[in-house]
Amino acid sequence: MSSLDQVREILDSALSLNGRARSFDRDTVLLGDLPELDSMAVVSILTALEEQLGIMIDDEDVSAETFETLGTLADFVDSKLAEV
C-alpha cells in the first residue's frame, strides 16, 4: 500500500469521514477545506501516523504547509519513512 493510500485511510479514520477520504487525490485541499480538520484533529492524525507507520514526528517538523493537501501530507510521511 502506498503512503498516499495509508495517509488517506488514517485521515478517514481520524476525522470520522465515513469513507469520504476514498475520493481524495493528491491535490485535495485539507487545511481550510475540511471543517473536521481542526487543531485537535491534527494532533490525532500525527499520533496515528506515528503509531501506524512507525515514524517519529517532532513539533518543529509540522507546519501548515504539511497539511495543505493530501499530497503534501503524503510527501511529509514519505520523508519521515526515509529517515527510519
- Strand stretches in the chain, DSSP E: none
- Buried b / exposed e over 39-78, threshold 16 CB at 10 Å, is eebbeebbebbeeebebebeeeeeeeebbbbbbbbbbbbe
Reported as type and span, the H/E element at residue 53 is helix 39-53
What pTM does this model have? Answer: 0.93
Which structural domains are found in the chain, ordered by start? 3-83 (1.10.1200.10)
Q: DSSP 3-state assignment of 69?
A: strand
Write the pLDDT tens digit of every residue in 20-69: 999 999 999 999 999 999 989 999 999 999 999 999 999 899 999 999 99
83 vs 50: which has the higher pLDDT: 50
